[in-house]
Structure 1
Amino acid sequence: MKIISVFLSLIIFVLFCKCQLYKKEKQNVLEAEHISPYNEVNTTMKFYGDSTYTFNLFQKSTYYEKNEKYSGKYLLENDTIKFIDRGFQYLRCRVAVINNGFVEFIGGSAPLKLKITERSIKDEYAINSLDSSYAFFTYHPNYYDFFSEKVKPYSLKKNDILAINDLLELCISENNNRITHHVNSYTKQCVAVTNANNEIEVIVYCNCKDNSKGYHFQIISVQDGGDCHFSVKLNLTKRKYSQLYINGSA
């Protein structure tokens, strides 16, 4: 009986260890979400310590509800998430990046950003003390075709943001008969690249602030609206701006 008791104790101990190991592996490394302001589409994603992830998409309209679930494996390398095996099937892409508090999917069938709500890793590439009116989008030719030559994505640094703000102030000052709002009245959506001459270029979409946080998730496209909406191309290396476009009035 003593042998049986010891054997049972050993089995219980092994199962307990396995259970604890499983719990440890399933700890969250990263959680991110995007909730539509109209509650039509809610998206959540979790990355676990055992290199697996889950992705849930809930979509609701007047006539139907749809809940899609995806799962798979990933590798985390610095700020880059690589989806292995079949890739990230929802968007048919293989890469996402961690960028200033967001997970941004690159090269898929459509751009997508999710806001990080929980993480056990540091964002080594975050811009500290950043003005919340700025939003960043990683360049990819599938989504953004406004650069006329071969370019490469560029991650903006804190000093770059200061240069962007200075150039925007200059642009507004030199066009004050057309742009009547202060630079701080706008949200600024930035797509940055380096061109063939290794110069830093940035397209900036400026839109008058409102209560919406949607500008962090996708580039805003607005018809009319006057000088509440304008875009401009900046060359941070040459400290120049060009291709200023201001919306017309309705």
Structure 2
Amino acid sequence: MGRTIQSLERAAAVLRLLAGGERRLGLSDIASAIGLAKATTHGLLRTLQQEGFVEQDPGSGRYQLGAELLRLGNSYLDVHELRARALVWTDDLARASGEAAYVGVLHQRGVLIVHHVFRPDESRQVLEVGAMQPLHSTALGKVIAAFDPVAHNEVMEDELTAITERTVTDSGTFARNLELVRARGWASDVGETWDGVASVAAPIVDRRRMPVGAVGITGAVERMQIGSDLDPRLVAAVRDCARSVSRDLGAGRF
């Protein structure tokens, strides 16, 4: 087993202790429960408090869990609710399109794949859940960058690196492309990330009409295009899937 970081283990012990039992605990109670000296425990609590994971009641001096943990917990629940709501619809999308379907969310200046439905054929495929994709070249990434202000700021601050010969690296051109994505409600990637591969994606929004991710399909260019244009039937299928997931998240009809 690999070595662990003792300070993180101790911090986790503090958080678990505060998460169960009494709502608030004093310094002595916490130190005694986790078997550490008061000075060491106080240092842990002070650091956790600075990061927002722990709060101290000004009247009693007792400690409780902080609001930052709630924010992180909500993010966790949001992603898992998104994946749960997308399961049936992305299965239908993969069957209807004949291509692999993906759901992605913004994570660490990229797109984190949180759900992947294999292309419905007998070909060998690798599950890509947990993989990261670039914001600036993939259809999923462009959709998220176009509709999520945080993602937009992040991608415009970063250098747009060339992945293939077709990757857009000029910031002005890229900004205009995002305007087009917002206007038409979907994004594409034709050979910008993988040679010979095309993708289409559309945004997923929640009950507040805020963007929470994107859904899309990916396949060989020759299957995804009719002539030089993306197959409108596939674009429509992706947009319908995005609307269906959004409605299940409470967005209503749009």
TM-score using structure 2 length: 0.33
Which of the pair has the greater relative contact order for Cα pairs under 8 Å at 6+ separation?
2
